[in-house]
Amino acid sequence: MEATSFAEVWQDVFLTQPAPPQWLIIATGVVALVAVLVRGPWRIARNVVTIAHEGGHALIAMLSGRQLTGIRLHSDTSGVTVSRGRPEGIGMIFTVAAGYITPSLVGLAGILLLLGDRITALLWISILLLAAMLLLIRNVYGVVSVVGTGALVFLVSWFTPAEVQAVFAYAFTWFMLFAGVRPVFELQAQRSRQPSPHSDADQLDRLTGVPGTAWVFFFGLVNLAVLALGVWLLMF
């Protein structure tokens, strides 16, 4: 990015950029799928999914009028978002339900920007959201995780040519679409292996009376539907 003043920066951010060729869009999708399926890359990249997951809890908590206390991200890629308010009711239900579907919805939002050729805008909106989330982080690992992710996106958006930005943006969007699905299977596997009353599905069970397994099915159904829509939008 060659802009020097604040006004020029924002003008450049919202300019349109050409999409990469179709073969490169497919290639970024393959790379993103590998990052989700292979244990090593997934162990690292899953931190981004946790950021989105906890960000979804936080956003809905604020929109529903709850008082947000803070967010903690842990090195095992788990996280927790703490808010104050009524311990039950529709606001609490929406807050708890938001986590597992947020990564997929982030991917879908990314597609909408990419279809409008707003590649740099996608990167900078991500930076702003990470900066806002950083204000809510309450532990060192969480700060490192959010700052590291934001720094990577900033370096790509500021120091690389439009072609590299496009590849990164498409790879990120594909990743969020694919990555939204795997944690749902991990959630059910963990519930089967080591039941915990603190999982999102089991909290929703207590809040609604609907079995936790049904909530896992709901998360999976939404994320698979978003993935199918995303593939169709990007490929056809």
Evaluate whether residue 85 is within a structural domain: yes
Angle at 107 between CA 103 and CA 113, to 5 degrees: 145
- Model confidence at 83: pLDDT above 90: yes
Give the C-alpha separation, 187 to 96, whole Å.
Answer: 14
Residue 197 DSSP SS3: coil
Give the C-alpha separation, 6 to 3, whole Å.
Answer: 8
Evaluate whether residue 185 is within a structural domain: yes
pLDDT digits (tens, 9 = 90+) for 147-196: 999 999 999 999 999 999 999 999 999 999 999 999 999 999 999 998 88
Residue 224 DSSP SS3: helix
Read off the tokens for 206: 């207590």
Neighbours of 225 (CB within 10 A): 12
Evaluate whether residue 5 is within a structural domain: no
Give the C-alpha separation, 38 to 184, whole Å.
Answer: 16
Return the axis-axis angle of helices 39-63 and 22-37, rounded to nearest 10°.
90
| Percent residues over pLDDT 70 in the chain | 94
**Section 124-148 average pLDDT:** 97
Residue 17: its pLDDT value, please?
A: 82
Lowest mean pLDDT among 9-13, 54-58, 112-116: 9-13
- Model confidence at 3: pLDDT above 80: no
Evaluate whether residue 12 is within a structural domain: no
Read off the tokens for 178: 């694919």
Read off the tokens for 230: 């995303």
Evaluate whether residue 15 is within a structural domain: no
Give the C-alpha separation, 48 to 182, whole Å.
Answer: 13
Query: Which residues contact residue 68 at a Cβ distance below 8 angstroms, ignoring those fewer than 6 apart?
Result: 58, 61, 62, 81, 82, 83, 136
Instruction: Report DSSP state, residue 168.
Output: H
Residue 193: its pLDDT value, please?
A: 92
Determine how β-strand 67-73 pairs with β-strand 79-84: antiparallel
pLDDT digits (tens, 9 = 90+) for 86-111: 999 999 999 999 999 999 999 999 99
Give the C-alpha separation, 221 to 101, whole Å.
Answer: 10
Evaluate whether residue 67 is within a structural domain: yes
Give the C-alpha separation, 85 to 69, whole Å.
Answer: 10
CA distances to 27, 28, 75, 235 from 21, rounded to whole Å, are 10, 11, 37, 11
- Model confidence at 1: pLDDT above 70: no
Evaluate whether residue 112 is within a structural domain: yes
Q: Does residue 184 contact residue 161 with C-beta atoms inside 8 Å?
A: no
Evaluate whether residue 214 is within a structural domain: yes
Give the C-alpha separation, 189 to 7, whole Å.
Answer: 50
Q: Is the whole-model pTM more than 0.85? A: yes
Residue 127: domain span:
20-235
Angle at 99 between CA 93 and CA 104, to 5 degrees: 130
Measured between its terminal Cα atoms, the distance across the chain in Å is: 30
Q: Could you give the number of structural domains in the chain?
A: 1
